[in-house]
Chains A and B, each alone.
Chain A
Amino acid sequence: MDAQPVMDLAAAMERFDGDQDLFLTLAEMFLERSPAALAAIQTALADQNLPMLAKEAHKLKGSAMEFCARPTVAAAAQLEESARQSAVSDMAAIGERVQAEVQRLTAALQVIIEKGFPS
């Protein structure tokens, strides 16, 4: 599961046309927001609130896309799709995977924020 890199930094920098400041601004925003985002997903799962779950998963997917964080995007997309299809059986497991991937992503972003971009 950890074979795929948490994010494709080169692709992300290509996307931002090398704008490191923009990348850092967005990374900080994501770090700030991710606890609340994950909590919202947990609440929606616990309440079986499928519309809310789909909305939060969609939003997370969009944010992760900015960093070309493919595993996170994939997990969030899967969770969103399950919520839309009301496929409740796998939801908890997918929710766990989303949680794990987000934690990997925030850790990677934290490294870049503190230590700068790899040369």
Chain B
Amino acid sequence: MAEPAHRIVDDPLAGKAAKPMPVILLVDDDQITRISMAGRLKRLGYRVIEAGDGIAGLAAIRAQRPDLVILDWMMPGLDGPSVCEAIRADGELRSSQVVLMTAHDQPEQIAEGLSRGADDFLSKAASKQEVLARVQASLRSSALVREIERTRDDLDRSHRLLSAKQTELESELQSAADFVRAQLPLPGMPAPGVSMQWAYQPSLALGGDLFQVSVWGSETLGLYILDASGHGVAAALRAVALMTFLREDNLAKVVGSFDPGAIITEANHRFPLTQDGEYFTLWVGRLHLPSRTLSYAAAGHSGAFLHSLQGVSQWLSSASLPLGFDPTISFDSATAQLLPRDRLYLLSDGIYEAPSPTGELWGRDRLQATLESHRAHTLAHSIGDTMTTARQWLKGDIFPDDVALLGVEVLDGTAPAKEKS
């Protein structure tokens, strides 16, 4: 319906064969002038609806939604400017194109008309050419406004669809995240004489960090922490795959032992670098409960810290390649002797690489100092407080990388102790 601005066409029917003719509503209480204008507009090719007063005019606008409204100025009851105001006040009608008819083009009249909501003016004395030109110009504006409204409605629809999709996706992600979180061990006592607590905060709904503490065979506690490279769903899927490999029954069958070195050596064969260059880091420990001897091995993962109350605290790691970088190499186990009330922490680099707002990393030294400062507190308190301290460093709640912090405490005495809260 809109014509390009530079084309003045005498015949409004030109090029419009396929489109419906614009509808013009003409509101004028004077029968002679109304029939005259209506006749002239119809002769120009437009469809014309007539109304004899302002109230009927408003009703006609609502019912017919004409492309253009032409209002006489002086009318009994609601005059032209009042009808304009009513149109602009109505949420549904206010984008209508409105022309006010004037007896003469007086500047004061124009100023008042504009301020009360008219888009343009048309003198009753106007020639045929002027009527045509003004009507065409108004119809162009009207068509533009309609286009904008259509686009806005399309946008609203698209937005609603997108939001619904978004909600659906988030719900699915949450289900997946819940599933992954359900793989984690229940805090408490995984075995007599051992208590365990943890904190887990992936940077997105899902992450690539996972850990496990469970009984392997008799009198042995297996522990591990793994980190799948990347973030999000892909990393979580890979992490779960490695977790499945590390199940007690699978290890017994495939590795034939619970020796950490042997486990990692086998994992190194079975989980090469992916096509996209993704890999795992892994730390595996095996705690012999009667002797409290810990054997451990690592593939690129250095997040194991032994906080010894009576003995020497140490990081249980050494330089090693992540899984899959060289499938031919083998990994050896090392050992450490745990004493009662010792605490073994397994943690992801997301926690000690937490950046301050200025970009400075929290670092392992500060992490170690924080963990050690809680020597007199419960394990749960120590972990909770360490997370809080890390967040204070971050000056926020959202870590840029996945965060996992697991603590295992060898309880005092031979009798199983209840976890102190």
Question: Do they bind each other?
Answer: yes
Chain A residues at the B interface, C-beta cutoff of 8 Å: 14-17, 19, 22, 25-26, 29-30, 33, 55, 58-59, 61-63, 65-66
Interface flag for B74 (CB, 8 Å): yes
Choice from B31, B33, B39 contacting A19 with Cβ under 8 Å: B39
| Interchain nearest-CB distance for A29 vs B (Å) | 5
Choice from B39, B74, B127 contacting A58 with Cβ under 8 Å: B74
B32 A33 Cβ-Cβ under 8 A: yes
Question: CA of A55 to CA of B30 in the docked complex: distance in angstroms?
Answer: 11
Choice from A19, A29, A62 contacting B103 with Cβ under 8 Å: A62
Interface flag for B19 (CB, 8 Å): no
Q: Which residue of A lies closest to B125 (CB)?
A: A65
Give the residues in chain A near B30, CB-CB below 8 Å.
Answer: 59, 62-63
Q: Which residue of B lies closest to A80 (CB)?
A: B103
Do most interface residues of chain B lie in helix, strand or loop, or is the interface mixed?
helix
A66 B33 Cβ-Cβ under 8 A: yes
Residues of B in contact (CB 8 Å), total 16
Give the residues in chain B near A17, CB-CB below 8 Å.
Answer: 40, 43-44, 128
Q: Which residue of B lies closest to A54 (CB)?
A: B74
Across chains A and B, the number of contacting residue pairs, with CB separation under 8 Å, is: 52
Question: CA of A14 to CA of B128 in the docked complex: distance in angstroms?
Answer: 7
Choice from B31, B74, B125 contacting A29 with Cβ under 8 Å: B31
Choice from A26, A58, A61, A65 contacting B35 with Cβ under 8 Å: A26
A62 B43 Cβ-Cβ under 8 A: no
B124 A16 Cβ-Cβ under 8 A: no
Interface flag for B257 (CB, 8 Å): no
| Interchain nearest-CB distance for A58 vs B (Å) | 7
A-B contact pairs, 6 of them (CB 8 A): A14-B128, A26-B35, A58-B103, A61-B103, A63-B30, A66-B33
Give the residues in chain A near B36, CB-CB below 8 Å.
Answer: 16, 22, 26, 66
Choice from A15, A29, A58 contacting B32 with Cβ under 8 Å: A29
Q: Which residue of A lies closest to B129 (CB)?
A: A14
B window 20-67: CB within 8 A of A: 30-33, 35-36, 39-40, 43-44
Question: CA of A26 to CA of B43 in the docked complex: distance in angstroms?
Answer: 15
Give the residues in chain B near A65, CB-CB below 8 Å.
Answer: 33, 124-125
B39 A15 Cβ-Cβ under 8 A: no
Choice from A16, A30, A59 contacting B39 with Cβ under 8 Å: A16
Give the residues in chain B near A66, CB-CB below 8 Å.
Answer: 32-33, 36
A62 B40 Cβ-Cβ under 8 A: no
B127 A62 Cβ-Cβ under 8 A: no
Q: Which residue of A lies closest to B101 (CB)?
A: A62
Give the residues in chain A near B124, CB-CB below 8 Å.
Answer: 62, 65
Q: Which residue of A lies closest to B31 (CB)?
A: A29
| Interchain nearest-CB distance for A68 vs B (Å) | 9
Choice from B33, B40, B43, B127 contacting A63 with Cβ under 8 Å: B33
Question: CA of A33 to CA of B31 in the docked complex: distance in angstroms?
Answer: 10
| Interchain nearest-CB distance for B54 vs A (Å) | 16
| Interchain nearest-CB distance for B289 vs A (Å) | 106
Give the residues in chain A near B125, CB-CB below 8 Å.
Answer: 65
Known: A15-B127, A22-B39. A63 touches B103 (CB 8 A): no
Question: CA of A22 to CA of B35 in the docked complex: distance in angstroms?
Answer: 8
